[in-house]
Amino acid sequence: MIPISWYLILAAALFSIGLFGVLARKNAVAILLGVELMLNAVNINLVTFWRYNAPETVTGQVFAIIVFAVAAAEVAVGLALIISIYRNRNTIVADDLDLMKW
């Protein structure tokens, strides 16, 4: 049997990779991709904790489903914003979008 630690370490690694993507990618869409990786890592944790610690309840799965809904909403709005920015500024490089500076 697989101990819970394997899943947790995998999730932590996936989360860190996603974090790196968010921090380091130039393209705004790629940043969102990183966010998706992080959300997936969270979901792995939720489902794992459900399976290992409280399999008789459904709490973990419900949490994960809510995360799905939030992720879908986040992607829809995020991508709409990116497309809107692309139309107006003709770029989606995060570093070029620096109107809000001194």
Partner 1 sequence: METTNLIWLLPLPPLLAFFIIVLFTNKSNKLSHIIGVSAAALSWAGAMYVFYQAVVDDHFVAFTDTIDWLPLGDGYLEIGVRIDPLSAAVLFFVGITIFMIFLYSVGYHNFGQPKGDHDKQGLPPHGATVEDEHGHKHTVPSVEPMYARFFAFIGLFAAGMYTLVISDNLLTLFVGWEIMGLCSYLLIGFWFAKKSARNAGIKAFMTTRIGDVFMLLGLAFLYTATGSLSYEVIFSEATLHALASAPAFWGLSAAGTIGLLLFIGAVGKSAQWPLHVWLPDAMEGPTPVSAMIHAATMVSAGVYMTIRIFPLFSAGWDHHTLTPAMSIIAFIGAFTALFAATIAIAQNDVKGVLAYSTISQLGFMMAAIGIGAYVAAAFHLVTHAFFKALLFLGSGSVIHGMEHGVLHTGDHSVDPQDMRNMGGLAKKMPITFWTFLIGGFALSGFPIVTAGFWSKDEIFADAFAHGHTAVFVTLALAAFLTAFYTMRQITMTFLGEARTPEAEHAHETPWTMTTPLVILSIFAVGFGWVGIPEDFMNLSLPTNWFHSFVGHTLPHPMAAPVFSWIPLGTSLVVALGGLGIGYLTYRNFKSADAVDPMRKLLSPVYHFIENKYYFDEAYDYLFVKPATWISEVFTNKMDQGVIDWILHSFGTASFAIGSTIRNQFDTPVINRFFGDGSAEVVQIFGRWLRKAQTGRIQQYMLSALGVLFIIFIALYYLVLA
Partner 2 sequence: MQITQILFLIFAAIILGSAFKVVTTKKMIHAAFWLIVTLFGVAALYAMLNAGFMAMVQIVVYVGAIAILFIFAIMLTRKELLDSAAPLNKNWGVAALFGLLSFGGLYTLLRNWEGFSNKASALSTDVDMITELGTALVTPNAYLLPFEVASVLLLAALIGAVYVANEAKSD
Residues that bind partner 1 (CB under 8 A): 19, 22-24, 31, 94-95, 97-102
3-state secondary structure of 93: strand
72 lines the binding site for partner 2 (CB under 8 A): yes
> Count of residues binding partner 2 (CB under 8 A)?
73
Which residues, listed in sequence order, are joined to residue 27 by a DSSP beta bridge?
Answer: 93
98 lines the binding site for partner 2 (CB under 8 A): no
Q: How is 56-68 classified by DSSP, letter by letter? A: TS-HHHHHHHHHH
Q: Which of 29, 32, 41 is nearest to 83 (CA)?
A: 29
- Pick between residue 90 and residue 99 the one whose CB is nearest to partner 2: 90
Residue 44 CB, nearest approach to partner 2 (Å): 6
9 lines the binding site for partner 2 (CB under 8 A): yes
